Amino acid sequence: MCGIVGVVGNPQATEILTNGLEKLEYRGYDSAGIFVADADHDYLVKSQGRIKDLESKITPEVQGTIGIGHTRWATHGEPSEENAHPHTSQSGRFVLVHNGVIENYDDLKHEYLANDTFYGETDSEIAVHLIEYFANQGLDTKEAFRKALTKIRGSYAFGLIDKNDRDTIYVAKNKSPLLIGLGDGFNVICSDALAMLQQTNIFVELNDGEMVIVTKDNVAIENAAGDSIKREPYEAKIDASDMEKGTYPYYMLKEIDEQPATMRRIISEYTDETGAVAVDQALLDSLLASDRIYIVACGTSYNAGLASKQIIEELANIPVEVHLSSEFGYNMPLLSAKPFFIYLTQSGETADSRQVLVKTNELGHPALTVTNVAGSTLSREATYTMLLHAGPEIAVASTKAYTAQIAALTVLSKAVGDAKDNAAAKDFDLVKELGIAANAMDVMISEKELLKQLAHDYFAGAEHAFYIGRGTDYYVSLEVSLKLKEISYIHAEGFAAGELKHGTIALVEEGTPVIGIISDDVTAPHTRGNLREVESRGAHTMVIASEDLSKPDDQIVVPVVHHFLRPLAAVIPGQLLAYYATLERGLDVDKPRNLAKSVTVE
């Protein structure tokens, strides 16, 4: 949700900012802007649309040694040039970029800024006017900024430049992510280390409530009271080449293809040379002491939690509840005596999940964050972290994080089950079964031509579509229907196959695509029966069946994998169907409308 970059002390400021914004475009892409200055000149360039639209407006003289930039996902005010960041104060002296939501912006406007003129409708513009308001009261920039922060309620990552001091970027953070990168003779700021990997791999993390004064050769962190804080930098272990699309037309296709390799990486990261599962002993002890696991997540991560429920319950023998973060925080159910929380989050930054983590931390419950991003907010704030090792996921539609989360939770469940001497765990050869699942994924990925044709045959003119299944197949249906709707804009729902006839079947018309996922021998005949019911009402049915349960007319046959791991193989055709349906509609697969990759507002 919005991306911020900044640089101080480098004559290539314009290039560093635009390169950084390109890398952050996954966070929001409805408008963008940069402010660049040197001792004598300054330039503000903003544009509605994508970073490439902004770049086309940047003329050669737009050069400087200091600057800030922003790519936006609109919260307050429509996507427009006026609402694009950076925003300037009333006199133009201060320039600001903001990621987050200022909840009391209207109150601040009326209390302090009644006579000011505003160009847009954003909460962020209020913030920069407020800083100038306090500067006009005689405070220096740092103290005016600090004073404004005491008045602002909400989430923010701010980057601020005072045109009267062109050697300093002022930074503050609360709930929204922000890092400082240490360059050679210059320093940078960014919402995500990925944005600045070409400049540095040494970063300093910030905590909520901190303010930082960044010059080309110094990074001074202060807490809200103004006390100086010492913090060691860390090295971001990310390969910049993982960020590249290479020969792929879209990141989503690359990331779908990377799933088998990710499975193999998870095996090697979490097992020793004997094949025994190796996870943190303290994490294991905490899980062994728990009487119930609460998985809390959003979107695809939530769907991965659902798909992992049976695995955890059978291998680890601990009951599991799976909850939506946005509901759980404000409607917390009665908890068990010894709850253990698992936060599933690809980005590690999702605000809905974080607000629950803050609450369960306050209650003193142990928490594990399973994430793809080392050092992310939820990773730092949970008791334990398990990394997905999936490499950066750039496409807004999550694919490899889903399968990596299921694999990581399988590893964890196996470790707990082994420690408890559970028969189900002892019988489950993790390395072998995950290897078989990776091979099955490879087989599905090699069926691209078939899936492209099916996407054309079934979705070309479709407005609605249903995926149905029972048990874990239902959970996979939820995920693949989310994929289809979020990128192709076809209205798609995942349904429990038996539930369709209790109401939703009324929506089935002549030609409505209904896709059945079948991987369980007990429920297979029932799901086939449900497909016949909709077929007799005109539905255009498709079957994705596990090879051992398939029939000659089934459109997609998935190699047999261990029953715990069926979602890993069954999800791939759904991901590829969504991809090709979207391509056929001529839409931007990686950047669907209205969405952003990392949802850092509640």
- Residue 396 binds ligand M6R, judged by CB under 6 A: yes
Catalytic residues: 2, 597
**Residue whose tokens read 């429509």:** 78
> Closer CB to ligand M6R, residue 380 or residue 551?
380
- Residue 25 binds ligand M6R, judged by CB under 6 A: no
Pick the closest to residue 265 from 379, 391, 375 (CA basis).
391
- Residue 398 binds ligand M6R, judged by CB under 6 A: yes
Single residue of 16, 356, 397, 508 touching ligand M6R by CB under 6 A: 397
Q: Of the listed pieces 225-233, 240-248, 342-350, 558-566, which binds ligand M6R according to CB under 6 A?
A: 342-350
Binding string, residues 470-499; x marks residues near ligand M6R by CB under 6 A:
------------x---x-------------
Pick the closest to residue 194 from 41, 375, 386, 366 (CA basis).
375
Task: Judge contact between 321 and 292, C-beta under 8 A.
Answer: yes
- Residue 415 binds ligand M6R, judged by CB under 6 A: no
CA dihedral 89, 95, 100, 102 (to 10 degrees): -20
- Residue 347 binds ligand M6R, judged by CB under 6 A: yes
- Residue 567 binds ligand M6R, judged by CB under 6 A: no
Taking residue 499's Cβ as centre, other Cβ atoms within 10 Å add up to 14
Single residue of 1, 157, 283, 298 touching ligand M6R by CB under 6 A: 298
Q: Of the listed pieces 17-25, 162-170, 294-302, 354-362, which binds ligand M6R according to CB under 6 A?
A: 294-302
Angle between helix 448-459 and helix 566-584 axes, rounded to 10 deg: 60
> Closer CB to ligand M6R, residue 65 or residue 300?
300
DSSP-derived letter for residue 277 is B
CA separation for the pair 493, 338 (Å, rounded): 35
Q: Of the listed pieces 166-174, 225-233, 345-353, 446-454, which binds ligand M6R according to CB under 6 A?
A: 345-353
- Residue 75 binds ligand M6R, judged by CB under 6 A: no
DSSP for 285-313? HHHHT-SEEEEEE-HHHHHHHHHHHHHHH
Single residue of 48, 63, 124, 300 touching ligand M6R by CB under 6 A: 300
Single residue of 271, 353, 369, 555 touching ligand M6R by CB under 6 A: 353
> In this structure, are strands 513-518 and 464-469 parallel, antiparallel, or unpaired?
parallel
Paired strand residues for 557? 545
- Residue 376 binds ligand M6R, judged by CB under 6 A: no
Paired strand residues for 492? 465
Task: Judge contact between 346 and 393, C-beta under 8 A.
Answer: yes
Q: How far is the CB of 512 from ligand M6R (least distance, A)?
A: 23
The SS3 call for residue 439 is: helix
> In this structure, are strands 66-72 and 94-99 parallel, antiparallel, or unpaired?
unpaired
Count of positions on this chain that bind ligand M6R (CB under 6 A):
16
The SS3 call for residue 156 is: strand
**Residue whose tokens read 């964890």:** 412
> Closer CB to ligand M6R, residue 48 or residue 345?
345
- Residue 212 binds ligand M6R, judged by CB under 6 A: no
Q: How far is the CB of 194 from ligand M6R (least distance, A)?
A: 14
Which residues of the shown chain bind ligand M6R in the complex (CB under 6 A)? 298-301, 345-347, 350, 353, 396-398, 482, 486, 595, 599
